[in-house]
Amino acid sequence: MNIRFSKISLLCAGLLAITTLGSHAADHAAKATDQHGSHGAKHWSYSGEGAPANWGNLEPGFSLCRLGKQQSPVDIQGQGSGKPAPIEFAYTASSAEVVNNGHTVQINLPSAGGFRLDGTEFKLAQFHFHTPSEEKIRGVAYPMVAHLVHKSAAGNLAVVAVLFELGDENQALKELFAKLPANGQTAHLSNAFNVSDLLPAYKGYYKFMGSLTTPPCTENVQWQILKQRVEISKEQLEAFRKLYKMNARPVQPLNQRKVEES
Ligand SMILES: [Zn+2]
Q: Where on the phi/psi map is residue 25: left (φ > 0), alpha (ψ -120 to 50), or beta? A: alpha
Burial 143-155 (b: 16+ CB within 10 A, else e): bbbbbbbbbbeee
C-alpha 10 to ligand 1 mean position (Å): 14
User: Among 23-32, 39-48, 168-177, 189-198, which is the least confidently predicted range?
Assistant: 23-32
Burial 37-74 (b: 16+ CB within 10 A, else e): eeeeeebbbbeeebebebbbebbebbbbbeebebbbbb
- The residue with greater pLDDT, 41 or 95, is 95
Catalytic residue among 103, 130, 147, 150: 103
pLDDT number for residue 42: 62
Q: Rounded to an integer, what distance in angstroms lies between the CA atom of residue 93 and that of residue 113?
A: 8
pLDDT number for residue 45: 97
pLDDT number for residue 79: 67
C-alpha 208 to ligand 1 mean position (Å): 15
β-strand pairing of 205-211 with 97-100 = unpaired
C-alpha 79 to ligand 1 mean position (Å): 23
Structure confidence at residue 81 as a pLDDT band (50, 70, 90): confident
Structure confidence at residue 78 as a pLDDT band (50, 70, 90): confident
Query: How do residues 169-215 score in pLDDT, each as one tens digit?
Result: 999 999 999 999 999 999 999 999 999 999 999 999 999 999 999 99
Q: If you ran DSSP here, which 8-state letter would residue 72 be given?
A: S
C-alpha 128 to ligand 1 mean position (Å): 6
Does the annotation mark 103 as catalytic?
yes
Name the superfamily (CATH) of residues 70-261.
Answer: Alpha carbonic anhydrase (3.10.200.10)
Residue 39 pLDDT greater than 80, yes or no: no
C-alpha 224 to ligand 1 mean position (Å): 12
Q: Which H or E run includes 242?
A: helix 234-243
- The alpha carbons of the chain give a radius of gyration, in whole angstroms, of 17
C-alpha 103 to ligand 1 mean position (Å): 10
pLDDT number for residue 246: 98
Residue 121 pLDDT greater than 80, yes or no: yes
Asked whether the bond before 250 is cis by omega within 30 degrees of 0, the reply is no
Query: How do residues 137-160 score in pLDDT, each as one tens digit?
Result: 999 999 999 999 999 999 999 999
Asked whether the bond before 110 is cis by omega within 30 degrees of 0, the reply is no
The 3-state DSSP class for residue 159 equals strand
